[in-house]
């Protein structure tokens, strides 16, 4: 692994957090990083809901199977997309843009020595309906994912899942 890319290899899903809060400055930095992501035709359809209240974190965690750890995170970010603002009002472009923003958050989390885990919401109808209802989202705002963020109780080792069998040259072989 190339050490110049450590910030990528150190990005790992963290599901156990300490009680230390995530600061407002750290959250602002994460959102700045999110909004530095590429976006089709610079439409920036991403929208974010910051969740800090423990009761709300617990409630949202109950909508997400395998997401119980959100209830103990320092905060959560619900990442949504505004379909009316997406390039050509395209769901696919909106999802790509929001996914790029999510990945920027995850990389920024690592740079700030925090931990995070991305919990998928879209395209699961039950998750989308539950999050939309709980967060009171208007119909044109679509929940894409939730990111649990906090100070990691344990930092996983850096790694890659590089597999040369997944690579083709010039054409599919």
92-120 tens-digit pLDDT: 999 999 999 999 999 999 999 999 999 99
* pLDDT per position as a tens digit, 3-59: 999 999 999 999 999 999 999 999 999 999 999 999 999 999 999 999 999 999 999
Cβ-based burial of 162 (10 A; exposed 0-12, middle 13-18, buried ≥19): exposed
44, part of any domain? yes
161, part of any domain? no
CATH classification at residue 121 = 3.40.109.10
Q: Would you say 46 and 101 are in contact if contact means Cβ atoms under 8 Å apart? A: yes
What's the pLDDT band for 173 if we cut at 50, 70, 90?
Answer: confident
Dihedral sign, Cα of residue 95, residue 135, residue 12, residue 109: positive
24, part of any domain? yes
170, part of any domain? no
169, part of any domain? no
Q: Can you give the residue range of the structural domain that contains 18?
A: 10-156
Domain count, the chain: 1
167, part of any domain? no
**Angle formed by the axes of helices 125-135 and 54-61, to 10°?**
160
Q: How far apart are CA 54 and CA 91, in angstroms?
A: 31
164, part of any domain? no
CA-closest candidate to residue 11, choices 167, 150, 115 = 115
């Amino acid at each position: 692994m190339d050490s110049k890319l450590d910030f990528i290899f150190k990005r790992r899903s963290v599901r156990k957090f300490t009680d230390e809060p995530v600061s407002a400055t750290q959250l602002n930095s994460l959102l700045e990083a999110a909004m530095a992501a590429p976006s089709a035709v610079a439409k920036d359809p991403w929208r974010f809901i910051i969740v800090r209240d423990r009761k709300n974190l617990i409630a949202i965690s109950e909508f997400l199977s395998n997401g119980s750890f959100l209830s103990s995170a320092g905060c959560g970010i619900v990442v949504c997309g505004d379909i009316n603002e997406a390039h050509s009002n395209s769901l696919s472009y909106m999802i790509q843009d929001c996914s790029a923003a999510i990945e920027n958050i995850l990389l920024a989390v690592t740079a700030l020595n925090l931990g995070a885990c991305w919990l998928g919401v879209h395209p699961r109808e039950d998750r989308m309906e539950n999050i939309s209802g709980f967060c009171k989202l208007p119909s044109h705002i679509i929940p894409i994912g939730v990111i649990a963020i906090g100070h990691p109780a344990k930092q996983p080792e850096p790694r890659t899942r590089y597999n040369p069998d997944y690579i083709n040259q010039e054409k599919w072989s």
